[in-house]
Amino acid sequence: MLSSGLGKFLLGVTCLLMTSGFVRVVTETTVYQQRKPPCDSQICRLSHVHSVTCEGSQANLQCGEGQVLVIHGADYGRHDKTTCSDGRPASQLQVVQCSSQTSTDVVAKSCNGKNSCTIPASNSVFGDPCVGTYKYLEVVYTCQFQTVTCEGSQAKLQCGKGQILVIHRADYGRHDQTTCSNLQSDCMLRDVLCSSPESIEVVAESCNGKNSCTISATSSVFGNPCFGTYKYLEVDYTCQFQSVTCEGSQANLQCDKGQVLVIHGADYGRHDKTTCSAGRPASQLQVVQCSSQTSTDVVAKSCNGKNSCTISASNSVFGDPCVGTYKYLEVVYTCQFQSATCEGSQANLQCDKGQVLVIHRADYGRHDKTTCSAGRPASQLQVVQCSSQTSTDVVAKSCNGKNSCTVSASNSVFGDPCVGTYKYLEVVYTCQLDRDSVDRREIRGRKRRRDANPDLLLSNHTAICSLAHPLS
């Protein structure tokens, strides 16, 4: 059973995931406030996709099957003299405090909620924030599962073995005239400014921290925000591992072979009276608003990028945020595959049957003197700040949504970011359920149910519609 403490913690993790590196404010429409550089924390760099597109080219943002784009930040301009500098005169690279203030809004408006999106890195789209300077477009985004469930049906959210649901967004209502419109009369689809304000709280409380969850898309669950309108439930979520370790014990975080840990959130303290309470006096359980502010940073620094990690749930590691209270350590994390392929070889990315690739990060270049160094002269290993800016876009375009993928680690694919240096290709990715096949089965099921009794469905909705719109 999900403890109230873990539920509150997961809501906090939701905020962390949505704002890691950025500030996100949600109102009737979604507004994004930029923060530069686009990804300035290790958590952001590991768990978000960072796309860089040179001026005059197009940014191609892509998610896996059944997932949608969530834009966390974008910046069209220039902030250093090296990015997108090949073949450019020095005069076009001097201005490094250049940014279009509309960048995030433009990209978010074009791409949010879509499976894929193409947007030109050009002055015609973003304006020209620094005339005469050669610019580039940086975009940081994540991919999240999205389910759409028509009113009267049930939303079924499912994670893989050992994972839990983290709800990012939920909305019961209607925002267009096409979604869940089959067999509905026009008057049932008119109100497109309809939303239950309790949607996220209801779904999060029901589903956060569970491996799977079923919730009815009905007004009895969410209230009726627009009487006479046929509604639907949209839910965005991710699947993550979670660990709870009592004070004095050790948290053992483990990924499968070939995968590395990415810490999304951690909290050492206490948020309820039940978690880790066995055998403890009531006096040690009373404080339920206790949290070490350094929790996430400490765990991320110790564990990110490793296959496994052991960390003590103790005051000596996190400090004591509430003296006399018996505490526990909660950690939410994902496991991502990491592949390193030497120049001239091929990266072979593979998922299990029924799963598809989601590329989080790719980098063709060199960042140390040891990786792919066997038999190479020292002169080919000296440059360790070498990176092809198109790496992630190239690999994502080739591999996202496929069960397996082969990409050559070569200059012919990525360009040569440092001539004379022996390079390698690093790819960080996850394998996720192929939601497309699941969605198709659900759509076929809904169609069979509608076909079985279409007259009753139409007569009921027409009656409600006539009452709600007597003049129509």
Indicate whether 46 and 139 sit together in one domain. yes
Measured at the alpha carbon of residue 84, what is the angle toward residues 79 and 89, in degrees to the nearest 5? 95
Is the separation of the CB atoms in 394 and 426 below 8 Å?
Answer: no
Q: What is the DSSP letter of 458?
A: H
Taking CB atoms within 8 Å and a gap of at least 24, the contacts of 452-460 are 454/183, 457/183, 458/183, 458/185
Length, in residues, of the chain: 472
21 close to 35: Cβ distance less than 8 angstroms: yes
Look at residue 448 and tell me if it is in a domain: no
Q: Could you tell me if 136 and 19 lie in one domain?
A: yes
Q: Note whether residue 455 is domain-resident.
A: no
3-state secondary structure 374-440: CCCCHHHCCCCCEECCCHHHHHHHHHCCCCEEEEECCHHHHCCCCCCCCCEEEEEEEEEECHHHHHH
- 170 lies in the same domain as 108: no
255 domain-assigned: yes
- The pLDDT of residue 145 is 84
Domain termination site, one of 144, 177, 193: 144
My answer on whether 212 and 307 are in the same domain is no
114 belongs to a structural domain: yes
Beta strands 49-54; 136-150: pairing state? antiparallel
With CA atoms as reference, report the closest residue to 360 among 179, 188, 207, 140: 140
| 39 is a domain residue | yes
Among 8, 1, 4, 12, which Cα is nearest to 264's? 12
Cα–Cα–Cα angle for 246, 247, 250, nearest 5°?
75
Q: Compute how many other C-beta atoms are within 10 angstroms of the C-beta atom of residue 349.
A: 21
Token digits for 278?
């066995």
Q: How confident is the model at residue 465, as a pLDDT?
A: 60
Domain that holds residue 192: 151-240
Residues 179 and 213 in one domain: yes
**358 and 231, same structural domain?**
no
Q: Is residue 441 part of a domain?
A: no
Q: Which amino acid is residue 204, in one-letter code?
A: A
Asked whether residue 463 is domain-assigned, the answer is no
Q: Where do we find the tokens 């140390």?
A: 368
- Pair of tokens at residue 188: 């049932």
Kindly state whether residues 37 and 60 are assigned to the same domain: yes
The answer on 355 and 329 residing in a single domain is: no
- Per-residue pLDDT 10s for the chain (472 aa) are 344 455 555 555 544 443 333 222 222 222 223 334 455 555 555 567 778 889 999 988 887 777 888 888 899 999 989 888 888 999 999 999 999 999 999 999 999 888 889 999 999 999 999 999 999 999 988 888 889 999 999 999 988 777 888 888 899 999 999 999 998 999 999 999 999 999 999 999 999 989 999 999 999 999 999 999 999 999 988 888 889 999 999 999 998 887 888 888 899 999 999 999 999 999 999 999 999 999 999 999 999 888 999 999 999 999 999 999 999 999 988 888 888 999 999 999 988 888 888 888 899 999 999 999 999 999 999 999 899 988 988 998 899 888 999 999 999 999 999 999 999 999 988 887 665 544 444 455 545 545 555 443 444 444 456 454 443 3
Q: In 255-359, which residue ranges form alpha helices assigned H by DSSP?
A: 295-303, 315-318
Tokens of 34: 């930029």
Q: Is the peptide bond before 37 cis (omega within 30 degrees of 0)?
A: yes
- CA-CA-CA-CA torsion sign (342, 263, 249, 258): negative
Residues 162 and 221 both lie in one domain: yes
pTM of the model: 0.61
311 shares a domain with 420: no
CATH code of the domain covering residue 361? 2.60.120.740
Q: Let me know how many helices (H) and strands (E) the chain has, helices first.
A: 12, 23
* Whether 58 and 104 share a structural domain: yes
Asked which of 127, 144, 161 is the last residue of a domain, the reply is 144
- The pLDDT score that the predictor gives to residue 227 is 94
What region does 12 belong to: left with phi over 0, alpha with psi -120 to 50, or beta?
Answer: alpha
How far apart (Å, rounded) are the C-alpha atoms in residues 199 and 155? 13
Total structural domains within the chain: 4
Residue 32 tokens, joined: 């994004």
> What is the rounded CA–CA span in Å between residue 376 and residue 358?
32
Whether 327 and 255 share a structural domain? yes
Is there a contact between 148 and 178 (Cβ–Cβ < 8 Å)?
no
pLDDT of residue 7: 56
**How far does the chain reach from its first CA to its final CA, in angstroms?**
49
Instruction: Give the per-residue pLDDT at 29.
Output: 26
**251 domain residue, yes or no:** yes
C-alpha to C-alpha distance for 457 and 455, rounded to whole angstroms = 5
Which of 299, 314, 336 is the endpoint of a domain? Answer: 336
